[in-house]
């Protein structure tokens, strides 16, 4: 299995991903999937902060939790036109 496939599998299992200065120097990012009513990933919610503001492990875990919680709230909301659009367009 390639390194990319291993990474994608790990992201799918834990439900989020991070980017720690991989694309932009001094930027830390946490991202989580937003799913449609059929549980398909249709978007991602991400939070990007300067690495200096991301803090230590405890603060990063807090930020990851917030991103996952908000993505989950969007996913579970029945009142968003977002879901109505994707359920008919896809």
CATH number at residue 14: 3.30.450.40
CB 21 within 8 A of CB 28: yes
8 Å CB contact between 41 and 58: no
Predicted TM-score (pTM) of this structure: 0.78
Q: For residue range 31-62, what is the model confidence (pLDDT) as tens digits?
A: 999 988 888 888 999 999 999 998 889 999 99
Q: Provide the domain limits for residue 52.
A: 3-89
Query: What integer pLDDT is reported at residue 31 of this predicted model?
Result: 96
**pLDDT tens digits, one per residue of 1-30:** 698 899 888 888 999 999 988 777 899 999
Number of other CB atoms surrounding residue 8 within 10 Å: 13
The number of distinct structural domains making up the chain is 1
* DSSP-H helix ranges across the chain: 3-14, 51-54, 57-76, 81-89
* Cα–Cα distance for residue pair 6/11, rounded to 1 Å: 9
């Amino acid at each position: 299995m390639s390194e990319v496939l291993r990474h994608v599998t790990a992201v799918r299992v834990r439900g989020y991903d991070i980017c720690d200065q991989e694309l932009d120097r001094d930027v830390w990012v946490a991202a989580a999937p937003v799913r449609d009513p059929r549980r398909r990933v249709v978007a991602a919610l991400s939070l990007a902060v300067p690495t200096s503001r991301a803090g230590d492990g405890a603060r990063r875990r807090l930020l990851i939790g917030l991103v996952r919680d908000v993505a989950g709230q969007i996913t579970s909301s029945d009142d968003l036109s977002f879901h109505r659009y994707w359920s008919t367009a896809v």
